[in-house]
């Protein structure tokens, strides 16, 4: 599994853009599970990913709304980006109530989940794991299995 050390926010965003370029829709939705402590860079990574997919809206942490859905521009291989922050959830059933099974069954959905450990029982086996580790103020270690 590659581990990359980024030395600033923009490098984390650039890595996200690189990783998203490697993803192709499969039979079901593509799920990225972003692990790591508060401030480790999960939302920043999602911002880089969204920007590279042509999302112009500001991506903020959806902690208080749990889930945000962005339509992707025509021409992208994915049609929707779904950004989930499971920080306030305590089991997969909480996500199921938000219709997770349906969004996860759609091939052209790209689902990014922060705090996947909170809803571990609903994370699909095929989810791609990306782990963020705080090294110092500007440095993060990012390990991914894509
Ligand atoms: P999380 O979603 O994991 O809680 P955020 O992405 O919201 O983390 O916050 C990361 C914070 O760390 C931001 O304020 C960002 O500017 C800062 N930061 C500093 N260096 C980096 C880096 N190399 N990668 C990502 N974020 C960084
Ligand atoms: Mg976050």
Write the DSSP string, 100-137: HHHHHT-TTEEEEEESGGGGGGGS-TTPEEEEEEE-SS
pLDDT digits (tens, 9 = 90+) for 12-54: 999 999 999 999 999 999 999 999 999 999 999 999 999 999 9
CB-based contacts of 68-77 (< 8 A; 24+ apart in sequence): 72/110, 77/23, 77/24, 77/25, 77/108
Span from the CA of 101 to the centroid of ligand 2 (angstroms): 23
Q: Is the pLDDT of residue 10 over 80?
A: yes
Span from the CA of 50 to the centroid of ligand 1 (angstroms): 15
Q: Is 138 in the pocket of ligand 1 (CB under 6 A)?
A: yes
3-state secondary structure of 35: strand
Q: Is 83 in the pocket of ligand 1 (CB under 6 A)?
A: no
User: Could you tell which of 6, 7, 8, 9 is best to mutate to test the pocket of ligand 1, judged by most ligand atoms within 8 Å of the CB?
Assistant: 9
Which pLDDT score is estimated for 60? 84
pLDDT digits (tens, 9 = 90+) for 65-110: 899 999 999 999 999 999 999 999 999 999 999 999 999 999 999 9
Which pLDDT score is estimated for 16? 98
Q: Is the pLDDT of residue 64 over 80?
A: no
Hey, whose CA ends up nearest to atom 9 of ligand 1?
39
Give the Cα separation of 95 and 91 in Å (integer).
Answer: 8
Which pLDDT score is estimated for 1? 87
């Amino acid at each position: 599994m590659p581990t990359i050390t980024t030395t600033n926010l923009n490098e984390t965003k650039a890595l996200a853009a690189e990783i998203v370029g490697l993803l192709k829709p499969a039979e079901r939705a593509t799920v990225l599970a972003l692990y790591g402590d508060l401030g480790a860079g999960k939302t920043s990574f999602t911002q880089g990913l969204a920007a590279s997919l042509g999302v112009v809206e500001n991506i903020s942490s959806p902690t208080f709304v749990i889930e945000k859905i962005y339509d992707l521009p025509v021409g992208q291989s994915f049609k929707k980006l779904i950004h989930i922050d499971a920080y306030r959830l305590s089991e997969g059933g909480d996500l199921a109530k938000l219709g997770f099974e349906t969004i996860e069954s759609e091939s052209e959905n790209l689902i990014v989940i922060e705090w996947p450990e909170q809803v571990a029982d609903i994370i699909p086996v095929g989810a791609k794991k990306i782990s963020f580790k705080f090294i110092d103020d500007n440095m993060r270690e990012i390990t991914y299995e894509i």
